[in-house]
Structure 1
C-alpha cells in the first residue's frame, strides 16, 4: 500500500463559517486568507501516485458546472470562502461533455449539448452515445437499440469486487442507470414505462426495464428514490420490488433508521428506496421569475425531508457496507442540483451542491484511512445558471443574501420558464491513486480507464519531503463566559503534515488543546481565561519538519 502525503490548499478549511454560539451576538465570517504564499510543487509531487486504485468513489453533481459551484460557494461561504472538501481536492481539470446525434453512422453528428444519459454513459463505458441512450451505442433512431457497452461497475463486479450505486434522484434515472443498465431510452425506467423500448421487454426476450436490470446485475448497494418504479408489475407478474427480494435476496429499507440498522452485506444486498420519485432537496424552493424573486435579505430555508437520509448519509453507509479487502466501486449522485436548476430553483440547487461537498468529505475521511482509494468528483453536463449583475439581467432571476451579507442574483435565460442544459466544459477533480489523470482538459470518456486503473507509469525522482505549512482563522473577540462554556471555534488548514495540534494559551499556560486531521479541520476549544488576550497556536508536523500559525483573540467581559 502506498504511503502518500495528502495535500490541501493551506487555507481552504471551512471558510465562511459563521461562528454562531461562539461569539453569540458578534458572529463573524471566517474568510479565506488572502495572499497565500505557500509554494505547492513539492506537495503536489508527493501526491502523485501512479498505482492502480483498489477502491473508486465517483461523486457526481448532476448539472454541476463552475457557475453553479460559484453561486453555491458564494451563498454558503462567501466570495472569499471555499468549500472545505470539494475545493480542497488537489488535482483539478476541465472536462468536455459532448455526445452524438442519431444517424446512419459510423460518423455520427455531434451533439454539443447532451443530456445525462449519454454523458453518464461516457464515463461508465469509455464511449460516446446519443441523447437518451443508457450505456448502449448510437444507432439510426432513438427507438432502435444500439450495442451494449460494458460499464466500469459491471467490470468491477465481474472481478469479484463489491459495487454500489447511490442517488438522490430515482435510482432508475439516467445517471445511476448508466452505471448498471443498458437500454435505448432513459424513460424506460420500470416495466410499465417500456413503450419506447419494446425490444428490451423481458417478454420479448430483452433485459427488461432499468429497474429490473439494476436488480438482475445484483448491485450490492442500491440507494435512492424511485419506489414507484419498483412497485410496477413485471411482465411475469410480481412487482420489481418483490422480484428483487424473492429472486435476488435484496433487503428493502425505506427510511434513514432502517438504513442505519444495516451493518453488513452478509445477509444479502441492500435496496434502499426512500421516496416514490426523486428525493426531497435540502432547501425549500426559491424559483426565479421574470422581474426577479427573492431579495437582498432572502436566505434559503431547510426543507422538511421526513425520514429521508441525505446523500452524505447514504454514501457513508454505502462505503461502510462495501469496504472489503478486494476493493469496491461506488457511484454517488447529488441529482437535485440539476432537477432544481431545470425548475429555476436556486435554493434547491444550492442545497444539494452543499450536500455534495459533505459527501466529498465522507469520501476523504475514508481515504485518509485507505489511501489506495481514488476519489473523482465531477458533473455530467453544464446548466444555464448564471451569476448576473441584478434582477433585470435575465429572463428569470432570483436574488439571495450570501454569507458575505450581500445580495447575489442568478439568471436562467435559456427558456421563458425553467432552464436547460448547456454545452460548456465542466470541472473534474480528484484525489488518490491516478488522480493526476484528471488534470488539463479531458473528455468524460477518459474517466473510464482511470477508474479501471491505467497501466502505472514511472514517476521520475523522489520528491524532497515538503516543509509543513499551517493556517488558522477564528474569532477576533470572545467573551470570558462564552469561552468557558461554549468555547471558541477554530478553523485550521495544513499541508505536508502528519499531525496537527491546536492549542489555546494565555500567559504561557495551556488552557486547552486538541488534535485534528493531517489536513486540518474545525475544533472548538474551551478554557477559563482572564480578561485580555489568549493565543491560538496551530502546530503542523511532518517529515519535512514543523510549522506553526498563531492568532490572538481578545477576551472581553
Structure 2
C-alpha cells in the first residue's frame, strides 16, 4: 500500500500548514535560545504523506485530560522549551478538536454541555454521536437514571468485520475511557456487579435482562487483549454467583495475567484472549506526587520529580507493545490505548504525576510508530478526551489558587497553577490537539469534532488525489449473506453456505474466522458467487464470515456473524 505521491495537492497542503504541522527537523535537544524552526518549505513533504487508502490496522492513543497546556508543561520539564517529543510532536498531521457534549432533557434537541466528562467524550469518538455526562456509548435521555439508546462502537464494528481488538489503559479497565469502547450503560459509575445500584434496570438479572455492569460487558465482548487496572471490579460477584473474573475464565476462556513478567510470557492468542489486571484500582504513575498548594505553592526552583515505586506493574508502552504483538494479523486490528493518569493527577493538582503519564504516552506513540514503519497500512491517531485546568504561569506567589514549581530540563524553574477549585482541579471546555500518521491521517487537520474521529477510525471512502496521470479506479464493493446459526456437525460435514456479490474487484476471498484465527479460506469469481465453508473438525461458538474484495484501487470488506451450535 503506497504512502507517497508526488503530485501537488495544493488545498490539502495549505490546510496542513495552516494548523502548524510539526517539522521533522525539530529535534528534542535544541536549546531554548536556538528554538527549532522550519529550515525549508515542507509543502512537498506533507503532500508525500497524504494517503487516502483505508488502513488495515488502527491504533488510537488517548491522553486523558491532555490539552496543549499540559503537553507544553510536560515537554518543558522533560526536554526543555526548545525540545520536541520524539513521538507525539513528530506526527505529520495535526489539528484541533472540539469536545462539547449534551445535557439531559426532553429532547430531541438537547442542551449543550460546553464542559464534559470522559464518558460522553470517549463515547463521541467511539460511536460518532454526542451524549450526556456519565453515559457510556448510549444516547441522551430525559434524566441520568433513564437509559438511552445503545450506540454501536468502533471496536464492535471491527469485531464484526473479523478484526482482532484490544483495549489498554493505566486506569481501571472499567473507567470511562476504556469502558466506552465496548460497554453501553447509563451511568459510568456502574463498573462492577456490586456497583449497579443506580443502574438496576440494566443488570443481567433485571426483567428484561440488561447487559450488566461495565466489567461484565467487557468480558462478554471477548475483547482479545484487555490490559490495565481495576482488579477490584472483576473480583465482584455476578448476579449468577461467580465473580466476573471466574466468569471471564470459565465462559470466555480468558487467560489472566497480573504482573509484567507474566505479560511478557504471553506469546499469542492461540489459547484464548488475555485479561491483564495489574492493580486493584488505577495503576501507579511514573512519578511520585507533587501536589500544588495555595501560594507560594509546593516544590520550588530546584525541585525535580521523583520516581515512584511501581512494583511489578508494566508501563503503558510495554502494555501497548505486547498488545500490538498479540493483535498483529493479516486481517488487521483495532487498538485503543489510554494514558489515564494525566487526567487523574490533574484532578489532584499533582503536576509530577501528570507529567510522568504524558511522558509515557510519548513513549507509547514511539512504539506505535516503530510498528507503523514496518506496517505502513497502519493509522495512528493521538489525542485527548477533554481539556483540563493546568496552566503554566509566571508568578507562583499570586497567579493561581494552587501552585507548584519544578526545575525543567532547561535548568530553569517552571510554575503551574490550578484555579478551577480551591482544592484539586477540574475539566475545561477548550479544544484539544489531535494528531495522526498513516493512511487517511490527513482527516484530522483543521478544526474537527470528536465525533468526526468515528468515521476516520473506521476508514472513510478513499478520495482520488488530483494530479497528473490516470484517475484512480473506484474502490471495489462487496456484500455477503449467510445463515445466522449453523449446527457444528453441518459445518464440518456439508459446510456453511455463503453467497457473495462483488463489483470493481479482481479477486474475492471468503474466510471463516474464530476469534481472529482463520479456519477456512475459499475464493469466488470477481463478481461473487456461492461457496461452502467446511471446517475440518467440530467448531462451536461465535464465528465470522469475512469477504475481502481486492481491486486496482484497494480493498473492500464485508462480514457476517454466525453461531455454530452443538
Structure 2 residue aligned with 1:352: 357
Deviation per CA, 1:97-127: give whole Å up to 9, x if none. Answer: 0000000000000000000000000000000
Size of the aligned set, in residue pairs, is: 451
C-alpha distance in 1 between matches for 2:394 and 2:260: 41
State whether structure 2 residue 289 is matched by structure 1 residue 273: no
Which shows bigger deviation, 4-13 or 293-302? 4-13
What pairs up with 1:427-438 in 2 under 5 angstroms? Answer: 427-438=433-444
Unmatched runs of 5 consecutive residues or more in structure 1: 17-28, 464-557
Corresponding residue for residue 2 of structure 1: 2
Q: Is the 8 A contact 1:12 1:84 kept in 2?
A: no
Aligned counterparts, 1:394-413, within 5 A: 394-413=400-419
Change beyond 3 A, Cα 1:31–1:328: farther
Shift of 1:182: 0.2
Please list the CA deviations of residues 465-524 of structure 1 after superposition, one character each: whole Å capped at 9, or x if unmatched: xxxxxxxxxxxxxxxxxxxxxxxxxxxxxxxxxxxxxxxxxxxxxxxxxxxxxxxxxxxx
Q: Following superposition of structure 1 onto structure 2, how do residues 324-335 of structure 1 map, counting pairs within 5 Å? A: 324-335=329-340
Structure 1 32/122 Cα, relative in aligned 2: closer, same or farther at 3 Å? farther
What is the CA–CA distance in structure 2 between the aligned matches of 1:96 and 1:34, rounded to whole Å?
28
Shift of 1:5: 8.4
Aligned-partner SS, 1:197: helix
Residue in structure 2 matching 1:252, options 256, 260, 267: 256
Equivalent-residue separation in structure 2 for 1:173 and 1:32 (angstroms): 42
1:241 paired residue number:
245
Change (3 A) 1:5 1:370: farther
Is the partner of 1:449 in helix, strand or coil? helix
Q: Sort the Cα spacing of 1:238 and 1:35 in 2 relative to 1 into closer, same or farther, 3 A.
A: closer
Cα displacement string for residues 163-221 of structure 1 (whole angstroms, at most 9, x for unaligned residues): 00000000000000000100000000000000111111000010000000000000000
Q: Are residue 59 (structure 1) and residue 73 (structure 2) matched?
A: no
Q: Secondary structure at the match of 1:202?
A: coil
Quote how far apart the aligned CAs of 1:38 are.
1.6
User: How many angstroms apart in 1 are the aligned matches of 2:284 and 2:364?
Assistant: 16
For residue 492 of structure 1, what is the aligned residue in structure 2?
none
- 1:3 to partner: Cα distance: 3.9
> What is the aligned partner in structure 2 of residue 537 from structure 1?
none
Determine which of 199, 202, 227 is the counterpart of 1:200.
202
Q: CA RMSD in A?
A: 1.5
- Give the SS at the match of 2:198: coil
Partners of 1:382 and 1:353 lie apart in 2 by 14
Distance 2:32 2:103 in 1: 48
Q: Distance in 2 between matches of 1:32 and 1:10?
A: 16
Match of 1:317 in 2: 322
Q: Is the 8 A contact 1:5 1:43 kept in 2?
A: no
Residue 308 of structure 1: how far off its partner (Å): 0.4
1:388 to partner: Cα distance:
0.6
Alignment of 1:14-29 (within 5 A): 14-15=28-29
Following superposition, the deviation at residue 233 of structure 1 comes to 0.2
Aligned to 2:49: 47
> Shift of residue 2 of structure 1?
1.9
| Of 458, 463, 482, the match for 2:464 | 458
What does the per-residue CA deviation read over 1:8-28, in whole Å, with 9 as the maximum and x for residues that have no partner?
A: 723234436xxxxxxxxxxxx
CA distance in 2, matches of 1:5, 1:316: 30
- For the residue of structure 2 that corresponds to 1:149, the secondary structure is coil
* Matching residue of 1:548: none
The Cα of 1:35 is off from its aligned counterpart by 4.4
Gaps of 5+ in 2: 7-20, 470-566
Secondary structure of 1:363 counterpart = helix
- Relative distance call for 1:227 and 1:35 in structure 2 (3 A) is closer
Q: Deviations over 1:399-420 (max 9, x none)?
A: 0000001010000000000000
Match of residue 176 from structure 2: 174
Task: Measure the CA separation in 2 of the matches of 1:131 and 1:33.
Answer: 41
Structure 1 residues 318 and 256: CA distance shift in structure 2, 3 A: same
Q: Distance in 2 between matches of 1:30 and 1:65?
A: 22
1:370 aligns with 2:372: no
1:113 to 112, 115, 124: 115
Shift in alpha-carbon separation, 1:416–1:426, aligned structure 2, 3 A: same
Query: Aligned with 1:180: secondary structure?
Result: coil
Q: 62, 76, 79: which one pairs with 1:77?
A: 79
CA contact (8 A) 1:397 1:411 kept: yes
In 2, Cα distance between equivalents of 1:136 and 1:212: 16
Measured in 2, the distance between the counterparts of 1:159 and 1:112 equals: 35
Structure 1-normalised TM-score?
0.79
SS in 2 for 1:415: coil
Aligned runs of 1:378-389 on 2, under 5 Å?
378-389=383-394
Aligned to 2:141: 139
- Which runs of structure 2 are paired with 1:25-40 in the superposition (5 Å)? 34-40=36-42
Deviations 1:229-278 (A, max 9, x none): 00000000000000000100000000000000000000000000000000
* Mapped contact 2:5–2:50 kept (Cα < 8 A): no
CA distance in 2, matches of 1:245, 1:11: 49
1:303 aligns with 2:308: yes
Structure number with greater CO (CA < 8 Å, separation at least 6) is: 1
Tell me the CA shift for residue 33 of structure 1.
5.5
